[in-house]
Amino acid sequence: MYNTDIPNREELPSTAKLIRSTVIAAIVALVLLVTAVMPAEYALDPTGAGRLLGLTEMGEIKEQLSEEAAADEAAQMVAVQSSADQKAPQVSETVMAESAEEPVSAPEAEVTATEPKPALEPEAAEPQWQDEVLVVLTPGEGTEFKLTMEKGAVARFSWVSEGGPINFDTHGDGSGQSISYEKGRGVPEDEGELVAAFTGNHGWFFRNRNDNDITLVLRTGGDYGQLKKML
């Protein structure tokens, strides 16, 4: 049965053409690996193209999720091992009897002259918050908020997770740099100051690891441009 003509030797590609096509394909694959795959999958961005395309932040979130999953698994293993090894302490009856027989001496009363305490000065009023956000997170859901800040700027913050504790990662990125300030697992609330290590976006990534919905309330104030919701 006839299907197609067999090509002549002259119609077949030469060895040089095959080698050139292979080299071009390898170069294209390497460029895609460095500019797209590495930033998106591993948060590695040696060329800076991944951050311009928004792929580096995707890779950072994937790395955070991977770290959280590994930490949760390790915590569960430790909890199971601790519950198996834990035993109730036994108190010797002989020791208890000896302790009961020993007389307990009453502390001697000390007479000291009390000096009048100075009047307390009224405390300064709490500073007003510039922004306040409230978001409901379902089980496994995450969200991210960032402040636009100049290098050395100081922002005040206070957040609380209503309905259960939450995992968080305080970090920053911008000007071709990135930094992780603090991470926490199962934290119900936190407050303090955030000092920008460089000019860029600085803030928090939150994830609900509870079996129920939680309500996150975030308040910010201080020296920053604006509060942005990233996720």
Q: What is the pLDDT of residues 74-88, one digit of tens each?
A: 777 766 676 666 654
Q: Is residue 93 part of a domain?
A: no
Q: Is residue 122 part of a domain?
A: no
DSSP structure class, residue 226: -
Q: How far apart are CA 63 and CA 42, in angstroms?
A: 7
* 3-class secondary structure, 14: coil
- Residue 55 sits in the same domain as residue 139: no
- Residue 139 sits in the same domain as residue 225: yes
Strand partners, 218: 133, 159
135 neighbors 215 (Cβ within 8 angstroms): yes
- Residue 139 sits in the same domain as residue 213: yes
Question: Where is the domain boundary, 80, 96, 120?
Answer: 80
**Any idea what the Cα angle at residue 227 is, between residues 221 and 231, rounded to 5°?**
135
CATH number at residue 213: 2.60.120.680
208 neighbors 137 (Cβ within 8 angstroms): yes
How large a percentage of the chain has pLDDT more than 70?
Answer: 71
DSSP structure class, residue 27: H
How much is the pTM? 0.52
- Has residue 205 got a pLDDT over 90? yes
- Has residue 137 got a pLDDT over 70? yes
- Residue 223 sits in the same domain as residue 154: yes
Instruction: Please give the residue that has the higher pLDDT: either 215 or 127.
Output: 215
pLDDT band at 71 (very low <50, low <70, confident <90, very high): confident
- Residue 224 sits in the same domain as residue 135: yes
185 neighbors 167 (Cβ within 8 angstroms): yes
- Has residue 209 got a pLDDT over 90? yes
Q: Is residue 101 part of a domain?
A: no
Direct distance between the N- and C-terminal alpha carbons of the chain, in angstroms, rounded to an integer:
61
Instruction: Please give the residue that has the higher pLDDT: either 138 or 15.
Output: 138
Look at the chain and report how many structural domains it folds into. 2
- Has residue 2 got a pLDDT over 90? no
Identify the H or E element spanning 62.
helix 55-85
- Residue 75 sits in the same domain as residue 159: no
Per-residue pLDDT averaged across 39-53, rounded?
A: 74
Q: Is residue 169 part of a domain?
A: yes
Domain that holds residue 53: 12-80
Calculate the alpha carbon distances from 227 to 54, 187, 204, 224 in Å. 19, 22, 11, 8
Q: Is residue 24 part of a domain?
A: yes
Give residues with Cβ within 8 angstroms of 182, minimum separation 6.
168, 169, 170
- pLDDT tens digits along 82-114: 666 665 455 444 445 455 455 555 455 454 556
